Every structure is written in structure tokens, then in C-alpha cells.
Amino acid sequence: MNRQAKISLAKNLNEKMSFLSFEKRLSLTISHFKTAIFTSSLGLEDQVLTFAITNNKLAIKIITLETGRLFPQTKQLIKDTKSHFQIQIEEFSPNKSELQTYIDEYQLNGFYESIEARKACCEVRKLVPLKQAIKNTDVWVTGLRGEQSNNRADLPFAQYNESFDIIKINPLADVKLEEIWQIIKQNNIPTNPLHQKGYPSIGCEPCTRAIKNGEDERAGRWWWEQDQNRECGLHLPAENQRSNIQQNSEIS
């Protein structure tokens, strides 16, 4: 499928999914693609999607990015989730040579010194492993939600991701945090204990802090940077607009 066809299909799926529950969005996804991958960071949303995928026996492969800087609680949750759902979660780690090259240039914790260094760290620890993970995959499922931050407010249910040349599905785009917690409690889904300590969004340990009252869910990520649209690069703010699909579909 070429780029234009992917853009058109994403637009069509986005429209159809607006009338469906997130579970049916997942079912619709696998009805259109042969291979699907769900990238889980073991967050609340990801645990709910893992539950939905396993409970409905959906043919969606679950993977996670083991960056090498995860919280011990996150590492334990990976093990607990595998055991709880009796599933496999494939872990993708950074290339050792590329990681050493980064450390030689910026030092291990050089990401605190500049945005350039931080993005370079995200590149080697997240983006490169992700590219390997979704290689030869038809569709990429995420646990993103619109209310997580301002730059995700207009998150579509389906979109064409230019960076990875793949259709990305965000089945929880319009789901509220309250509903996420309700599903978790009703189904005894394992979660990260850090959520109870003020960490609604959990990434790498050196780059995540608890949030303060009134801050959005992702305020604790890369908190030392001033850019309010900060992301690791997996999910760029520029693509998180429903109108973007329509604009791209008009490109000749």
C-alpha cells in the first residue's frame, strides 16, 4: 500500500471509529490489516488495552521498549502482566553500539544539558528500537488519549504516521481517565504502584517526576524543558490533529 492509499484508509477508519467503543475499534483494526502491533509502556491505558486484546483474543502482537532506564516498578510490572494475562510481551532494547556512541558524545545523563542531547537519547533508546519492532507490520496500535496533554487534545482515532510510514490507531483517543480507572478496578488489572504516588505518566526513571496539583498528566515528563509540546519523538504533536488527515488526503 502506497503513502496516499494509507492516508485515505486512515481517514476512512477515523470516521468509522468515531461511532464505536474502543473495543470495537480494535476489532475493526484487525479486520483491515494482516499484522498489528500494540506498543505498551505499561501505563494505565496500555494495561486496559492489553486486557481488551487478551480478553477478546485479538490477533495483535504486544511489545514494549526496554530502554535500559525504566523504573524498577515498571520492570516488575512487565513480569506481572505477562503472568497475569498468560501472554508474551516482546521487549525491544537499544543497540549497544549506538547507545555507547551516544554516551561517548553526551555522557550517560547528558539529556539534562540540552534538548538536542535529550532527543538523541530518545532516538537511540526508543525510536530506533521502535522502527525495528514495527518493521514489516501493517498497523501500529497505541494507548494515547486526547486528555493526556494539550498537544494531544485533537488526537484522531486513526492517522497516517509520516515518520514511520504506517497507519497508527489510537482506540482510546476519546476515553477519559475516570473510565480507564473504572475498567482497571472492575477487572483487577495490574498497574504500576507509582500511579498512586503522583505519576500518571511513567517513562524512563531519570526523565519522569510526580506531577503537582493542577498540572496535566504528562507534565512530569522531561520537566526541566520549557517546551510545552515536548515529546520523545514516537508521537509528534504535528500529527496529532484530526484535520491533518483531511489536509494530507488532499495532497496530489
Where residue 237 sits, what CATH number does that domain have? 3.40.50.620
33, with CB counted inside 10 A (0-12, 13-18, 19+), is buried
Q: Which domain holds residue 159?
A: 3-93+134-241
Q: What is the reported pLDDT for 217? A: 84
Q: Are 235 and 131 in contact (CB under 8 A)?
A: no
| Residue 8 counted as domain residue | yes
What pLDDT score was predicted for residue 240?
Answer: 37
Kindly state the cell numbers that stand for 28. 475493526
Catalytically active residues, by annotation? 232
Task: State the pLDDT at residue 219.
Answer: 87
Q: In whole angstroms, what is the distance from residue 219 CA to residue 209 CA?
A: 8
Asked if the structure places residue 170 within a domain, the reply is yes
Residue 155 CA to residue 157 CA, distance in Å, equals: 7
Q: Residue 34 and residue 138: Cα distance in Å, rounded?
A: 7
pLDDT for the residue numbered 239: 43
10 Å CB burial of residue 102 (0-12, 13-18, 19+) is buried
Q: pLDDT by residue (tens digit) across 158-215?
A: 999 998 999 999 999 999 999 999 999 999 999 999 999 999 999 999 999 999 998 8
Handedness of CA 12, 145, 31, 93 (dihedral sign): positive
Provide Rg for the chain, Cα atoms. 18
- Domain membership of residue 67 (yes or no) is yes
- Asked if the structure places residue 83 within a domain, the reply is yes
Residue 120 lies in a domain: no
Tell me whether residue 115 is in a domain: no
Split into its structural domains, the chain has a count of 1
User: Block means of pLDDT (10 residues each) for the chain, length 252 residues?
Assistant: 95 97 98 97 97 97 98 98 98 97 97 94 96 95 85 85 94 96 98 95 95 87 75 50 36 28
Q: Is position 62 within any domain?
A: yes
Q: Does residue 41 fall inside a structural domain? A: yes
pLDDT at site 77: 98
